[in-house]
Amino acid sequence: MAAEPIYPVIITGGGALANLSDIARLAGVSLATVSRVVNGTARVAPEKRERILKAMRETGFQPVESAKAFYKQPSSLIGYVIPSLHNLFLNEIGTALEEAAQEKGYQVVVCDSGREPKREWDYIRLLSEMNADGIVITANNDEMEEEIRRCRLPVVVVDRKAGREYEASVSSDNYLGGQLAAEHLVDCGCKRLVHLRGPQLYSSGQMRFQGYMDVCRKWNLEPRFLDCGYDFESGLACAPHILERFPDTDGILCSSDMTALSVYKYLSSKGIRVPEDIMLVGFDGVRLGRLMTPELTTVVQPARRMGREAFSLLQELIQGAGPRNLQKTVPVAFRQGETTRRK
C-alpha cells in the first residue's frame, strides 16, 4: 500500500501557518494519524480525532486544499526545504524566493525539517509525489545527494556548493567573508582570534574557516577554533568553552549572526565588555544584527539576491534551458558595526 500523502503548509504573502507536525505534537499522535483526519482517508478513534480537531482549532490550522490538487495535475509549485524556520538568514532568502516565484505564477511550499535528516528525505519524496516543478534546498545532512537523485526533480542548493548529484547552486563568497572578518579583527589590533567555525560538512563552513586560516598564516597568528552550528542555541552552548580553552581571547569570528548574538549575550552575562574587552564579528547580515545595541559588525551575505538567483536558476532547469552543475557565487560585503573598533 502506498504511503498516505502528508500535506505541508503553503506559504503565501510572507506568513507561515501551523503545519501537520505541530498538530501531531500538540495532539500526541503520529503524522499519519493527523493526515488521515485531514484527508478523510481512514477511520480514526473518536478520542484521537477530537484531540486532533482541538489542536487544529487552537492553532488556527487550515488544510490547504490547493495542496491536495497538486497531486492530480501539473502544480506550478516549487519546494523550499530548510533546516529551521527560526533561521533568519534562510527566511530572508525564502521571502525573496517567494516573491520571484509568484511573479512567474508559482507557489512555494516551505518545508521545515527541524534539522532532522529523515524529515528532509520525507519532504523531498513528498514534493516529488506532488508533481512539484523543482526544489530549492538547504540540506541538513551530507547524505542528501542520493535522495535528490531518486526524486528526479530540478534542484538548486542554496548557501553551499553543489554536490555531485545536485544540479545547480547559489552561494556567497564564503572564503572572502572569512578573510574579511579575520583581517578586520587584525586591523582592530586583535592578536588572539577565535573562530566559531560552522559545520565542516558544508562548503559554507569549510570556506569561511579556510579564509580565517589563511589570514592566521599571513600574520603568523595561532589558529584557534571551536566547532559550532549556525543557530542561536549552538552559539549559546559553545560560548562558555571559548574562554575556558582560550582565556586570553581578544577577538571572536562567529559562524553566523545568530551565534554572534548568543556569544554577546553570554559575554555580557559575565561582565565582559564588547568591544572593549573582546571584539565580535558575525556572518550573514540579518536585520536583527542592526537592531541590537551595540550594532553587530558582520559579513553581509546578499540574502535577497540569493533567493532571486535561486529561483532564476531553478526556472532555467525547469524549462530545460539551464546547464547542469552550475555553481553561482555572489559577492559578500563587510559592515562595520559597534562590536568592533580600531584601537
Q: What is the CATH number of the domain that holds 126?
A: 3.40.50.2300
For residue 166, tell me if it sits in a domain. yes
Q: Would 262 be classed as within a structural domain?
A: yes
Instruction: Specify whether the CB–CB gap between 252 and 281 falls below 8 A.
Output: yes
pLDDT band, residue 90 (cuts 50/70/90): very high
Do 200 and 166 lie in one domain? The reply is no
Amino acid, res. 21: S
Three-state secondary-structure class, residue 40: coil
How does pLDDT run across 103-155, given as a tens digit for each residue? Answer: 999 999 998 888 777 788 888 878 887 788 999 998 655 556 666 666 678 88
Co-location of 109 and 167 in the same domain: yes
291 domain residue, yes or no = yes
- pLDDT tens, residue by residue, 216-227: 999 999 999 999
Helix intervals (H) in the chain: 20-27, 31-39, 46-59, 65-69, 88-103, 117-129, 144-151, 174-187, 203-218, 232-245, 257-269, 288-291, 303-318
For residue 229 the three cell numbers come to 552550528
Q: Could you count the other beta carbons within 10 Å of the beta carbon of residue 12?
A: 14
Beta partners for 195?
A: 225, 253
Q: How many domains does the chain have?
A: 2
Give the model confidence (pLDDT) of 30-41 as tens digits: 877 877 777 665
pLDDT of residue 163: 56
Question: 123 with 232, same domain?
Answer: no
Q: Is the pLDDT of residue 5 over 50?
A: no
CA-CA-CA-CA dihedral for 217, 221, 226, 227, to nearest 10: -10
Tell me if 167 is assigned to some domain. yes
Residue 160 near residue 330, CB atoms below 8 Å? no
User: To 5 degrees, how large is the angle CA 44–CA 46–CA 50?
Assistant: 100
Q: CA 278, CA 328: separation in Å to the nearest integer?
A: 35
Instruction: Evaluate whether residue 1 is within a structural domain.
Output: no
CB 208 within 8 Å of CB 243? no
DSSP lists the bridge partners of residue 11 as: 108
Contact 200, 206 (CB under 8 A): yes
- Interstrand relation of 107-112 and 10-11 (parallel, antiparallel or unpaired): antiparallel
Task: Give residue 176's pLDDT band: very low, low, confident or very high (50, 70, 90).
Answer: very high
Residue 11's pLDDT is 35
184, 292: one domain: yes
In a domain, 3, yes or no: no
Q: Say how far apart CA 112 and CA 228 lie, in whole Å.
A: 21
Give residue 45's identity as a one-letter amino acid code: A
Answer yes or no: do 132 and 66 share one domain.
yes
Q: In this structure, is residue 313 part of a structural domain?
A: yes
CA gap 303, 231 in Å, rounded: 17
- Whether residue 120 is found in the same domain as residue 190: no
Residues 160 and 36 in one domain: yes
- 315-341 pLDDT, tens digit per residue, is 988 888 665 667 889 999 999 999 999
| Domain around 65 | 10-171+306-330
Mean pLDDT value across residues 15-34: 72
Q: Are 25 and 141 within one domain?
A: yes
Cβ contact 168:198 at 8 Å: no
Nearest residue to 98 (alpha-carbon basis) of 4, 208, 11, 161: 11
The answer to whether 170 and 328 are in contact (CB under 8 A) is yes
Reply yes or no on whether the pLDDT at 70 is more than 80: no
Do residues 20 and 71 both lie within one domain?
yes
Beta bridge partner(s), residue 298:
282, 335
Q: Are residues 166 and 24 in the same domain?
A: yes
26 with 162, same domain: the answer is yes
For the CA atoms of 121, 12, 100, 92, what is the dihedral angle to 10 degrees? -70
- Nearest alpha carbon to residue 108 among 147, 159, 67: 67
Q: Determine, yes or no, domain membership for 273.
A: yes
Whole-number Å distance between alpha carbons of 223 and 246:
11
Angle, alpha carbons 242-203-89 (nearest 5°): 70
Q: Any idea which residue has 589563511 for its cell?
A: 214
User: Does the structure show a pLDDT above 90 at 168?
Assistant: no
66 has pLDDT over 70: no
Looking at the fold, whether 88 and 209 belong to one and the same domain comes out as no
Asked if residue 46 has pLDDT above 90, the reply is no
**CA 113 to CA 169: how far, in whole Å?**
20
Average pLDDT, the chain: 84
The grid cell for 245 is 580553552
